[in-house]
Structure 1
Amino acid sequence: MGSIVVLLSLVASHSDIDLETVAKISADASQVASVVLASASPIAGAVTLATCNRYEIYCEVPQLEDLSAARSEVISQIADSTGLDESTISTALVSKSETEAIEHLFSVGAGLDSAVIGEREIAGQVRRALNEAQAAGTATGSLVRLFQAASRTAKDVGSRTSLGSRGLSVVSVALDLATDLSRERDWKTKNIVIFGTGAYAGATMALLRDRAAHNVSVFSASGRSEAFVASRGGAALDESTLEAALESADIIIGCSGSDHRLMAADIAALDRGGRPLIAVDLALTHDFDPALGALEGVDLIDLESVRMAAPDEQAQSLREARGIVLGATQAFAAEQRERAADAAIVALRRHTQQVLEAEVEKVRAQHGCTAAAEEVEFAMRRMMRQLLHVPTVRARELASEGRADEYIGALETLYGLEVAVPVAPSMKNQASCPVTGAQGAGTDSVSRSA
């Protein structure tokens, strides 16, 4: 007997472990989805969602009994890519499957699992994760439907509740903290240096414009600052101009998550003339040396600071949002279960159709193409439709209750039918098939810093 595809997610997020551990697991783990598909694991498809405070991988496996092997393979590949031992990764990753995995992704996409509850940036990150997986050829049809449903749920939460209506995000809370620390609260006069050109850097630029900041420079270790400022404004920096910009900077903001880390010694060596500096580090893997905060005249704001400062959203809005997520989860899970019923219904109809056609041929052979024969054939087909109505309805009812296997077993026992529930095709060894709007190229470590 076949079974419907099974969803598995492995989650490391700020909700369960410290951000340092999340950062270590995220480091160089962006290609894990492609690697596990190239392995001998039972994983048919995978999508990675990595942001400033989480690393999650969603997998599709053919059978429930494949879950353990799939989890072990993902852990093994993350260990290989990060250099961490498997026991550390296994302890840090929380496994979720089936409905629990669906509800978790929907909650994440709606901003209910964010450091800043109700933030809207995460919805875009969910869309980018799917686009990147499709471009890399690792997303199966079931995973595409799952992530598209998560995006729809996020829109419903945004339109039907007041959650996140204040426009709060990780970036906005960080900038509010920087404002509180500033002697001069007017952003028009501040010299600002942004590190990175990824999604968070773009969100930062937009919020700085809202605060009327004019003197913004952008540095990219990968050399993409020119293209970034061409569409968003600001001045591009390179290695030769970075030092001078840092000497006059009032605020520096790290958004890249690259290997190019600004060290405390680098700042201490600058001729800043006692000018105070606020360093805002939004990169999970740290753009700035944590020791910056110990330097005289330097205030360091990191993701942990943002999480602690994030305001609580209204309880009523949060309850409404969770209700929407739960309803969407139940609807998606029911739709998944009904796919098992579809295969059983097709098998039963095919069987009865074959029996019907055999009997119709007997009638035609005995009576020819007469009006009486046509009347008998019409009556037989009408009777068959009526006989199939209740089994068809019952199949969908049982599937919605998660009991499709009972129905399939009954068909196999009563009619000797072999029902093969279709499993989404594995993406193993398939060519990459980019989609319109896929993103991922041309950003500074978007997976980790976006």
Structure 2
Amino acid sequence: MSVLVVGLSHRTAPVALLERVSVSGDRLVKLLHDVHVAAGVAEAMVVSTCNRVEVYAVVDRFHAVVNEVSELLSVHSGVPKEQLTPHLYVHYEDRAVEHLFSVGAGLDSMVVGEGQILGQVRQALRLAQEQGTLGATLNDLVQQALRVGKRCHAETGIDRAGASLVGVGLTLAARVLGPIQGRRALVVGAGSMSALSAATLQRAGVSDIVVVNRTHERAVRLAQTVGGRAAPFADLAAELAEADLVISCTGATDVVVTADMVTPREMFLLDLALPHDVDPAVRLLPGVTLVDLESMQEGGADTGADDGGRVEAVAAVRGIVAEEVAAYLSAERAARVTPTVVALRSKAADVVEAELGRLVSRVPEIEGRIRDEVTQTVRRVVDKLLHEPTVRVKQLAESPAGDHYAEALRELFNLNPKVPDAVRRIETIDMEVDR
């Protein structure tokens, strides 16, 4: 079984297409289950954010599953497969591991180094666990990717070098409005991105923060965390009329802020939703500036911070990712050969027991002490004969072609690692191999 990734992101697709493909809620759960029950798929997880939609799967075949996942993405999004396929990327085995680690580290984000992707990957992991589509392979891989991402943020300056999308948006807002301290900010929505937006506004020195959400209780809770106030959703138009800076990120499928709700004047709107929360026609209003994911993508999310420190931080993160990928693949290859080593040692132990039983039946007069000595001697001989090849095959298994050595061992000794009796002594055998 191997890990496969099929997806599209801001690097390969326009935001308009990402809007159509992005799934959430019940649609996300349905896609997850449809992938999981596809032929050849043993485990599945879906990462769906404003910048990417990726399907991770553990598979026993390649081309058939790639075609099936591509078809499912087309069906669930309503985008014809021939329009979708040119924007898809596919990573398999080693490249899939490297891609996930890079995603978790923030190297593949629109704003390199942003930390929110870790929470988004964690949410995808939790959903797959809750829905029962995850197994040991994908669970361990994703957990490792999260650990790698945390390490990158802890050991490098990538947090300072790569701001979040909200941070970039506020930088752009300051270019339009001037210093944002003292301005009135309106946050539309109360989800995780809205919470991040409100917290970022507070850290930037904005004290007048209003939160509007369809579920008023959630707006109240979020507003309380930043010392702001909550307003009913029905008052959205009135609050827009008083706001200088608006950040919107809801889960709505239709436009939330229409052009007729916005008064022409100096005003900055940051639309971080997918699909759009703010009607693009707002851009036509005098004095109004609208920045959304598409315009940030087209502008490369440039904040003017691409200095030597940023380059150095990114290089450091790439080094950590390369190191962690190599370590993961090495351990994973070594683990693959363990069942074969166990089967070999188990088979040898069975042969020893059978031959000792035959000796006792043929020479029943052997005394107990002598019988024990013979038994121990035979076992030591077999252990010493097998120790070097089993240690060596584990070492060789860590190389890229390591599977071939285990396969040769299975062929030479006619081993079947899947037989239950072959793995019952695994702890004892591992102790023998590692000593």
1:44 aligns with one of 42, 45, 51: 42
- How much does 1:236 deviate? 2.4
- Map of 1:34 onto structure 2: 33
- Map of 1:201 onto structure 2: 194
Query: SS at 2:350's partner residue?
Result: helix
Q: 2:204 & 2:410 partners in 1: Cα distance? A: 67
- How much does 1:95 deviate? 0.5
Q: 1:236 & 1:368 partners in 2: Cα distance? A: 90
2:399 aligns with one of 376, 398, 401: 401
Q: 2:72 & 2:197 partners in 1: Cα distance? A: 33
Query: Contact (CA 8 Å) 1:257, 1:286: kept in 2 or not?
Result: no
Q: 1:114 & 1:338 partners in 2: Cα distance? A: 32
TM-score by length of 1: 0.85
Query: Contact (CA 8 Å) 1:27, 1:285: kept in 2 or not?
Result: no
Query: Contact (CA 8 Å) 2:148, 2:321: kept in 1 or not?
Result: yes
Q: 1:222 & 1:9 partners in 2: Cα distance? A: 36
- Map of 1:373 onto structure 2: 371
Cα deviation code 1:90-131 (max 9, x no counterpart): 222100011111111111111111121112222222222212
Q: 1:181 & 1:210 partners in 2: Cα distance? A: 19
Query: Contact (CA 8 Å) 2:8, 2:89: kept in 1 or not?
Result: yes
Query: SS at 2:11's partner residue?
Result: coil
**1:208 aligned partner, one-letter code:** L
Q: Percent identity?
A: 33
2:272 aligns with one of 282, 295, 300: 282
After TM superposition, the structure 1 stretch with the greater mean CA deviation from structure 2, 99-108 or 224-233, is 224-233
2:17 aligns with one of 14, 21, 29: 21
Pick the structure with more helix per residue. Answer: 2
Cα deviation code 1:60-113 (max 9, x no counterpart): 11x2xx121212222222222211111222222100011111111111111111
Q: 2:45 & 2:11 partners in 1: Cα distance? A: 20
- Map of 2:81 onto structure 1: 86
1:330 aligns with one of 297, 301, 326: 326
1:211 aligns with 2:204: yes
Query: Contact (CA 8 Å) 2:112, 2:162: kept in 1 or not?
Result: no
Q: 1:69 & 1:256 partners in 2: Cα distance? A: 36
- Map of 2:242 onto structure 1: 248
- How much does 1:345 deviate? 0.6
**1:109 aligned partner, one-letter code:** G
- Alignment coverage as a number of residue pairs: 408
- Map of 1:356 onto structure 2: 352
Q: 2:355 & 2:242 partners in 1: Cα distance? A: 91
What 5-or-longer segments of structure 2 have no aligned partner? 421-435
Query: Contact (CA 8 Å) 1:344, 1:421: kept in 2 or not?
Result: no
1:414 aligns with 2:412: yes
Q: 1:260 & 1:237 partners in 2: Cα distance? A: 21
- How much does 1:368 deviate? 4.2
Cα deviation code 1:377-425 (max 9, x no counterpart): 1111111211111221122123211334423432343222234499xxx
After TM superposition, the structure 1 stretch with the greater mean CA deviation from structure 2, 237-246 or 85-94, is 237-246
- How much does 1:187 deviate? 2.3
**1:10 aligned partner, one-letter code:** V
Q: 1:158 & 1:398 partners in 2: Cα distance? A: 33
1:228 aligns with 2:227: no
Where in structure 2 are the equivalents of 1:41-190 lying within 5 Å? 41-61=39-59, 63=60, 66-166=61-161, 168-183=163-178, 185-188=179-182, 190=183
RMSD: 2.2
**1:248 aligned partner, one-letter code:** E
- How much does 1:317 deviate? 2.4
Q: 2:346 & 2:121 partners in 1: Cα distance? A: 40
- Map of 1:8 onto structure 2: 4
Q: 1:195 & 1:260 partners in 2: Cα distance? A: 14
Query: Contact (CA 8 Å) 1:25, 1:78: kept in 2 or not?
Result: yes
Query: Contact (CA 8 Å) 2:43, 2:135: kept in 1 or not?
Result: yes
Query: SS at 2:159's partner residue?
Result: coil
Query: Contact (CA 8 Å) 1:11, 1:57: kept in 2 or not?
Result: yes
**1:330 aligned partner, one-letter code:** A
What 5-or-longer segments of structure 1 have no aligned partner? 423-450
1:320 aligns with one of 308, 316, 320: 316
After TM superposition, the structure 1 stretch with the greater mean CA deviation from structure 2, 239-248 or 365-374, is 365-374
**1:258 aligned partner, one-letter code:** A
- How much does 1:233 deviate? 4.3
Q: Which has the higher contact order (CA 8 A, sep 6+)?
A: 1
After TM superposition, the structure 1 stretch with the greater mean CA deviation from structure 2, 403-412 or 295-304, is 403-412
Query: Contact (CA 8 Å) 1:221, 1:260: kept in 2 or not?
Result: no
- Map of 2:426 onto structure 1: none
